[in-house]
Copies of this chain bind each other. A is one copy, B any other.
Amino acid sequence: MKESLNYIYKEQKEVSIYGGIAALLGWDQMTYMPSKGSEERAEQLSLVSRLVHERVTSETLYNHLKKLNDVANSLTKKDSLVVTKLLRDVEKARKLPAEFVEKMTRTTSIAYGIWQEAREKNDFTLFQPHLEQIVELEKQYYDYIKLPGHPYNTLLDDYEEGMTVEVLQKEFSILRKQLVELLQTITTTERYQRQRPVPLTLNSIQQKESCSILLKHMNIPFDRARLDISTHPFTTSMGDDDVRFTTNYERGGFFSSFFSTAHEAGHALYELGILKGEYKDTIISNAPSLGIHESQSRFWENMIARSKPF
């Protein structure tokens, strides 16, 4: 049992290092990579994804995990949590052929470069065939994994473990009714109708300065994080002490970059703030839910940055 535990913790640690490497390859592609580096970057990313897949789906890991799962009751709470969650992910990954994982990574990586180009040229037809390929691959992904219920449950589960379309449809229908009512009440008030767009546009340098003031107030620790520029803002993490987020000053106006910076900084603070403790370098230490991630970033964007006192 001790041997099996050692093995699964060592494997999780290595997979987490691979994860940091893949995050850097992706971050660099979206921020600094010269455009012609795209093909080779796709090869680098698909190699890393294959290596991770090989480790995660190895017979040895699977056997150790099954052995541990059989005696889950005699494990500590931590070990038992790690074993259950890891076994679930491993069983999912074992349904995917290695070539499929490599192909998915290569396709989305190449598509990113094309998407950037298509966006710049405002020409969707450039991106369309790549998007079609990705949709096709997502359908194949569904065929491999096939969780019960609505087909989208399979895709949803990667971002919101255990969540289903059935549950969301029920929740959203209640929310929809109440939110539409609330919105109608707001938009018919005299005060709302009096509103005019704020006549404020700043150039890139001014946008950059205003974001830098914002980030100072948000207390971003810049020895553990950094802000860069990308076509579409995003946040990613190379490790516990290295979180990168981006913004974009090119788009018109001032509010777009200001609020997107607040939003991504919210993601960054969430990543930086996850106290890993004894779960460090285990599967449990990853942010568990995209819903919570978005709620943190939306909180900074909407509740704080858009608030009157702020």
Contact = CB atoms under 8 A, between A and B. Distances in A.
Contacts of A21: 21, 25, 44, 47-48
A33 interface: yes
A162 interface: no
User: Which of A21, A41, A226 lies at the interface centre, i.e. has the most chain B CB atoms within 10 A of its CB?
Assistant: A21
User: Which of A43, A222, A224 lies at the interface centre, i.e. has the most chain B CB atoms within 10 A of its CB?
Assistant: A43
Given A21-B25, A25-B21, A44-B17, A36 B241 contact: yes
B228 A40 contact: no
Q: What size tier do the contact residues of chain A reach? A: 20 to 34
A255 interface: no
Contacts of A238: 33, 37, 40-41, 44
A40 B223 contact: no
A9 interface: no
A233 interface: no
Interface string A4-24: 000000000010011011001
A34 B228 contact: no
Tell me the interface secondary structure of chain A in the complex.
Answer: helix
A240 interface: yes
Contacts of A41: 238-239, 242
A39 interface: yes
Contact of A224 (B24, B34, B239): B34
Contacts of A20: 40, 44
Given A25-B24, A44-B20, A223 B36 contact: yes
Contacts of A35: 223
Given A17-B40, A17-B44, A40-B241, 5 more contacts: A17-B47, A18-B47, A24-B25, A37-B224, A40-B238
Interface of A: 14, 17-18, 20-21, 24-25, 28, 32-37, 39-41, 43-44, 47-48, 51, 222-226, 228, 238-242
5 A-B pairs with the lowest CB-CB distances in the bound complex, closest first? A37-B242, A40-B239, A36-B241, A35-B223, A36-B224
